Amino acid sequence: MEANGKSEGAIEMFRAQAHIYKHACNYVNSMVLATAIQLNIPDIIHTHGKPITIPKLVSALKLPPHKSNAVYRLMRLLTHNGFFDSTKLNKAEEEKEDGYVLTASSRLLLKTQIPNLSPFALFAVHPVMLAPWKVLGDWFSRNEESTAFETAHGAPLWEFCDSNPKFNNVFNEGMASDSQMMRLIVKDCGRVFEGVGTLVDVGGGTGMIAKLILGAFPSLKCTVLDLPHVVADKPGGGSENLRFLGGDMFHSIPSADAIMFKHIMHDWSDEECVKILKKGREAIIADKNDGVKKKGKVIIIGTVLGAEEDNETDITEMKLIFDLLMMVHNTGRERTEMEYEKLFTESGFTHYKITPIFGLMSLIEVFP
């Protein structure tokens, strides 16, 4: 059979070509997004307050007029990818211009708003994060390094962060911006904190999540546990109920009613996760001062592969991408419910409950 003079075989081959080229050149989408953030385009459109034309955008960007066509082409791809929308402005039919407005995605990139995911988007394309992908093929045939990150940089991710303060700041800002999304759901998770008087946020970084939780539950006492170089400049959290503690979760986790891990488990191998979870279990069943043992819970916020929401293409793809990110940059992985259950059993826990939150994340409560 033929369609418009072309055989079905040829049509299929050219579709396959487009599919290959799309994925081979997908880095263009990432870099164009980073460029828009670098140029401050979302905030300029937001400040403009109405659809903005290319000439006005170029003027606001303080760029020479001859860059107008380049800006137009940038905006055309970003609009196609859903970061902006365009509308025809009311002029004579032959002179109608496109006016660009924000979408839900670009509103999440506004540097003047919270949540603001710009730091995460820029962190994702930082040269340090991109370098391991260039040596991934070589890493598969090597035995010396545990990750492609180590192949590229000569040290594991956490050691690299420890010795590179500038990149460490980029890393922490990216993670903190991601944590801002919890603002949208923390109050809806109120039942999770019922009966919890003390909480340890393990790997809590800058304390973004801890502060959000304390905003909703001000009577809670919260400790942010992270590596010493992460919390070195945070002796206090601006609240008598928040403290920062330098330490190593593989060695010890302070006793509390609840131990929380947000985006921690996927950083580590199964063996390392079992070690972490056992320390968490010790912390929630420690003896009280009166000799009575308490039984708390471990709270995990992270991705669960194969969950019901995975029928959405973007969410499924992003979960699989995160899985590879963990392989390339750490020794970790994303996991299915059955894989989580195996970790919990090996760590001495008896039961758990998974609650999908929104998008990529689920909330898992694990009980001793």
Each of the 368 residues of the chain gets a pLDDT tens digit; together they read: 555 656 778 889 999 999 999 999 999 999 999 999 999 999 999 999 999 999 999 999 999 999 999 999 999 999 999 999 998 876 655 567 889 999 999 999 999 888 899 999 999 999 999 999 999 999 999 888 899 999 999 999 989 998 999 999 999 899 888 877 777 777 677 788 878 899 999 998 888 888 888 888 888 899 999 988 777 776 555 568 899 998 999 999 999 999 999 889 999 999 999 999 999 999 998 655 555 556 789 999 999 998 665 566 788 899 999 999 999 999 899 999 999 999 999 999 999 999 887 778 888 999 98
Active site residues: 266
- Phi, psi (deg, nearest 5) at residue 62: 60, 40
Count of helices and strands (H, E) across the chain: 17, 13
pTM exceeding 0.85: no
Q: Pairing between strand 297-302 and 362-367?
A: antiparallel
Tell me, which fold does domain 2-107 have in CATH? Answer: Arc Repressor Mutant, subunit A (1.10.10)
> What stretches of the chain adopt beta strand conformation (E)?
2-3, 6-7, 84-88, 98-102, 198-202, 221-226, 242-246, 258-262, 297-302, 304-305, 335-336, 351-356, 362-367
Segments of the chain assigned to CATH 1.10.10.10: 2-107
Bridge partners, 300 (sequence order):
261, 364
- State how far the Cα of 121 lies from the Cα of 36, in Å rounded to an integer: 11
185-367: CATH class: alpha beta
Nearest CA among 186, 176, 128, 174 for reference residue 152: 128
Q: How far is CA 82 from the centre of its chain?
A: 19
Cβ atoms within 10 Å, residue 309: 16
Residues of the chain with CATH 3.40.50.150: 185-367
